[in-house]
Homo-oligomer: A and B are copies of this chain.
Amino acid sequence: MTDPPDARSPGASGNRKPPATIYDIARTAGVSPSTVSRALNKPGRINARTERRIRDVAEELGYRRNPMAGALPTGRTGTIGLIVSDVTNPVYFDLIHGAERVIASEGHTLVLADAQESPDTESETAERLLLSVDGLLLVGSRLDDARILELAEHKPLVLVNRSVPGLPGIVPDPLPGIRKALDHLASLGHRSIAFLSGPATSWMSGVRWETLLDEALRRDIGIVEIGPGIPTLEGGRQSLRRVRAARVTAVVAYNDLMAIGLLQAAKAADVDVPEDLSIIGFDDIFGSSLTTPTITTIRSPLDRVGETAIRRLIAELDEDDHSADVTLFTEFIERESTAPPRAR
């Protein structure tokens, strides 16, 4: 007995095909459900002929394993959650692609979720996802350490661009990129610069600032922090007033979005970039090479970061402890938004 032949158009409700179950397969193959389960999950563990037959029937019936039902007894969903502080932030594209690549090759499923730049949303999303994934990746988390540790109590969790003591975290070393950037600025003749910081909740912004501070000190370059600011074009635009007030000749922005925003505001105010003001961003997003001038920036190998993070998480799931610890580095990319300061 199937759907009545007069079923309405496919869009109409109420005529959905109930998916085939292992019981359906068992019945038409003349075996028990347990055997079906084995045939489908542990190839080789049962009679080759029966296995063949069962697989054929499954195929014929369009059988798909019900992931929820499968997860109940095993506690395994085959799914990995990736929570990004903002999915629409271009920064994370390469990371998402990197993650997708290894996820696919490992036969898991990726569930993407967006924290929408809000700790509350992030916390809630993480909690909701926690029950239906095998492990969680938190990218650029805005949560505090305590909350993250709490989440990690329930499922394996790997951090990206964030470090919490006791938890695995992938964060590319900011030092190489920052050193090159400051060398570059110094050689150009800049003596006084500013850092446009990101949100107060951004751990990464803190790391970048601390590193910058250290290295500026070491080179006898004056540096001030301007912020915290919102990590968007708008945030960058808003900072122009304070940048000018600070009388610096160059600024390093927390990210390219802010760098571009600052560039736009500068143009609008007839401040020439790079002649009057040099600007350096972070991340090398799509867009930072579209502006005029193009943005000099410090990039992370985010695709590698995504790959590495997923591999680390999968190792964690498999309780495989010898996950080789790769170290990743930032890299300086010189483009057009930096030049010698105008003599005054």
Which A residues lie at the B interface, using CB under 8 A?
Answer: 9-11, 13-14, 16-17, 19, 64-69, 71-72, 77, 87-88, 90, 93, 96-97, 100, 104, 109-114, 116, 121, 125, 127-128, 130-132, 149, 152-156, 166-168, 260, 286-287, 290-292, 316, 319
Alpha-carbon distance A90/B69, docked complex (angstroms): 36
Say whether A131 contacts B67, CB under 8 Å: yes
Alpha-carbon distance A280/B57, docked complex (angstroms): 53
Alpha-carbon distance A286/B291, docked complex (angstroms): 12
- A116, closest chain B residue (CB): B100
Say whether B93 contacts A88, CB under 8 Å: yes
- A317, closest chain B residue (CB): B13
Q: Which of the residues B9, B87, B97, B152 comes within 8 Å of A96, measured between beta carbons?
A: B87
Alpha-carbon distance A90/B86, docked complex (angstroms): 13
From A19, A152, A290, A316, name the one whose CB has the most chain B CB atoms within 10 angstroms. A290
Question: So how many copies of this chain end up in the complex?
Answer: 2
- A7, closest chain B residue (CB): B153
For the complex of A and B, 5 pairs with smallest distance between CB atoms: A88-B93, A112-B112, A68-B68, A292-B292, A9-B166
Q: Which of the residues B72, B87, B154 comes within 8 Å of A69, measured between beta carbons?
A: B72
From A72, A87, A168, name the one whose CB has the most chain B CB atoms within 10 angstroms. A87
- Check A130/B64 contact, CB under 8 A, given A87-B87, A100-B114, A291-B290: yes
Say whether A72 contacts B64, CB under 8 Å: no
Q: A155 contacts which chain B residues (CB < 8 A)?
A: 16
From A9, A114, A132, A260, name the one whose CB has the most chain B CB atoms within 10 angstroms. A132
A122 nearest CB across to chain B (Å): 13
Inter-chain pairs besides A64-B131, A69-B72, 4 sampled, C-beta below 8 Å: A9-B166, A10-B153, A19-B131, A68-B132
Q: A9 contacts which chain B residues (CB < 8 A)?
A: 166
A102 nearest CB across to chain B (Å): 13
- Check A114/B131 contact, CB under 8 A, given A90-B286, A154-B17: no
- Check A154/B16 contact, CB under 8 A, given A10-B166, A130-B64, A290-B290: yes
Q: A166 contacts which chain B residues (CB < 8 A)?
A: 9-11
Alpha-carbon distance A166/B15, docked complex (angstroms): 13
Alpha-carbon distance A156/B13, docked complex (angstroms): 8
- A66, closest chain B residue (CB): B131
- A318, closest chain B residue (CB): B13
- A8, closest chain B residue (CB): B166
Say whether A109 contacts B128, CB under 8 Å: yes
Q: A96 contacts which chain B residues (CB < 8 A)?
A: 87-88, 114
Alpha-carbon distance A9/B87, docked complex (angstroms): 31
From A11, A67, A154, name the one whose CB has the most chain B CB atoms within 10 angstroms. A11
A203 nearest CB across to chain B (Å): 17
Q: Which of the residues B109, B286, B319 comes within 8 Å of A287, measured between beta carbons?
A: B286
- Check A64/B291 contact, CB under 8 A, given A87-B87, A96-B87: no
22 sample A-B contacts, Cβ–Cβ < 8 Å, listed by A number: A10-B166, A17-B153, A19-B154, A64-B130, A64-B131, A66-B131, A67-B128, A67-B131, A68-B71, A68-B131, A87-B112, A88-B96, A90-B90, A90-B286, A96-B114, A109-B128, A111-B112, A111-B113, A287-B287, A287-B290, A290-B290, A291-B291
